[in-house]
Amino acid sequence: MSISVNGQSCVPPGFRFHPTEEELLNYYLRKKVAAEEIDLDVIRDVDLNKLEPWDIQERCKIGSGPQNDWYFFSHKDKKYPTGTRTNRATAAGFWKATGRDKAIYNSLHRIGMRKTLVFYKGRAPHGQKSDWIMHEYRLDDPATDTAAATVAAAAAAADGGQEDGWVVCRVFKKKHHHKEYSGGGKNGDGGGKSAAAAAQHAYSGGSSGDDALDQILQYMGRSCKQEQEHISPPPTATASGGGRTTASRYLRPIDTVLAGHGFMKLPPLESPSAAATPAMSSSSTTPMITGDEHLLLHHRTDWAMMDRLVASHLNGHSDAAADDDQLCNFAAAGDADASLAFYSAAATRLLAGGNDDDLWSFARSAAPPPPSATS
């Protein structure tokens, strides 16, 4: 493919096609979805199932210069006969989602989501991980622009309806680049320290607002959650006995995460009486509760609800779980801030419910549950 802009035959030296995420979503993907003409045909359509990652370079070449990343549109309509998961298998391997989806924001609001996938050679579950990485970008459901106020709508946008339609993908090879930062110079910057430095950066939260600890906790909890699904029945109001043991295992992480943000303080388990004041906020949040959420509140109280809360926190990423519970998926799809917002919303909603839905009843039921908590 050759680049021709206004009769000039090439891109000026030093310039590359390396779009920002906002450009990918708001210009290219939006135009693609709207079937508008795109000035320059730099992003091609490919059938992901028929294209091996090592063929992408040739297929998606732009100009003649060296390229480190490749872009294409893909239409997600290939599904397995059962379930809603996208089939991302090729002849030689498959793309597997890793981490969890990241919300993409422009300066004003959320514009889409990014899923990170890794190519494995072979067939699941015995694939061999490769260095090929794909970022798959999808637009937010336009309906949420107006209805973004409610958690339910946001959750629907985050997970519902995402398995169909156009996505734009960036494919690149993972670099093993740790030598370049400090390269073993004379200042005692051993190259081997880079990994540690990187980890340190992750924990200091210095970059792009990611709360690394939160995300790692969340991710690590994913397998715990799956385990939990195997050993305990679906949480209901009457299943609080089974839920209590599993939930208590998670109290520590959730406590830590929340305390780290100074966001929502759980009272000490021994002092449920200290819990009266936070209910003040109920009046402002009550109107946000929809019918569905009321149902949820009234059917899942106590430890069961705490389970949901914790599980939603620990839920890894939306692609893995065919869970139809929107609350869970909301936390799965958002970034750290989004899930914190979820917590705050969930907490205030619990408080707003009053009575048995009082959040602090969780604390009380750490001791043998009082009658009101199981009613």
| Separation between Cα atoms, residue 334 and residue 317, nearest integer Å | 9
DSSP code per residue over 62-110: -SSS--SEEEEEEEE--B-SSSS-B--B-SSEEEEEEEEEEEEE-SSSE
Query: Measured from the CB of residue 105, what is the shortest distance to other proteins in angstroms?
Result: 12
Site for other proteins in 233-292 (CB under 8 A): none
> How far is Cα 67 from Cα 71, in angstroms, rounded to an integer?
11
**305 near 87, Cβ under 8 Å?**
no
| 5 part of the interface to other proteins, by CB under 8 A | yes
Task: Choose, by CB under 8 A, the member of 7, 81, 83, 125 that binds other proteins.
Answer: 125
**Maximum pairwise Cα distance, the chain:** 80
CA–CA distance, 323 with 315 (Å, rounded to integer): 10
24 in contact with other proteins (CB under 8 A): yes
For other proteins, give the closer residue by CB, 72 or 362.
72
Within 10 A of 32 (CB to CB), how many other CB atoms are there?
19
Q: Which of these ranges, 219-227, 246-254, 295-303, 305-313, lies near other proteins under the rule CB under 8 A?
A: 219-227
The dihedral sign for the CA sequence 207, 213, 216, 221: negative
105 binds other proteins (CB under 8 A): no
- Cα 273 to Cα 48, 172, 276, 301, 363, distances in angstroms: 58, 55, 7, 19, 10
Is 18 among the residues that bind other proteins (CB under 8 A)? yes
Q: Does 42 bind other proteins (CB under 8 A)?
A: yes
Question: How many residues lie near other proteins (CB under 8 A)?
Answer: 70
Based on the number of CB atoms within 10 Å of its own CB, is 337 exposed (0-12), middle (13-18) or buried (19 or more)?
A: middle
Choose the binding region for other proteins from 84-92, 138-146, 151-159, 209-217 (rule: CB under 8 A). Answer: 209-217
Count of CA atoms in the C-beta half-sphere (13 A) of 355: 9
116 lies in the binding site for other proteins (CB under 8 A): yes
Out of 1, 4, 15, 263, the residue judged to bind other proteins by CB under 8 A: 15
Please give the residues from 315 up to 354 whose contact with other proteins meets the rule CB under 8 A.
Answer: 320
Tell me if 40 contacts other proteins by CB under 8 A: yes
Nearest to 274 by CA among 265, 282, 283: 265
Nearest to 220 by CA among 314, 139, 305: 314
Task: Identify the residue among 184, 234, 260, 287 touching other proteins (CB under 8 A).
Answer: 184
Q: Which stretch binds other proteins (CB under 8 A): 157-165, 185-193, 260-268, 361-369?
A: 185-193
Judged by beta carbon, residue 94 or residue 362, the one nearer other proteins is: 94
Residue 118 sits in the site that holds other proteins (CB under 8 A): yes
Q: Under the criterion CB under 8 A, does residue 212 sit at the interface with other proteins?
A: yes
Q: How far is the CB of 307 from other proteins (least distance, A)?
A: 20
* The token pair that represents 56 in the structure block: 């992408």
**For other proteins, which stretch binds (CB under 8 A), given 38-46, 259-267, 272-280, 358-366?**
38-46
12 binds other proteins (CB under 8 A): yes
Kindly state whether residue 206 participates in binding other proteins, applying the rule CB under 8 A: yes
- Euclidean distance between CA atoms 26 and 110, whole angstroms: 11
- Strand-pair category, 128-139 with 110-121: antiparallel
Binding site for other proteins (CB under 8 A): 5-6, 11-21, 23-24, 27-28, 38-40, 42, 65-66, 68-69, 96, 98-100, 116, 118, 125, 129, 133, 170, 172, 174-175, 177-178, 180-187, 189, 194-195, 197-202, 206-208, 210, 212, 215-216, 219-220, 222-223, 226, 320
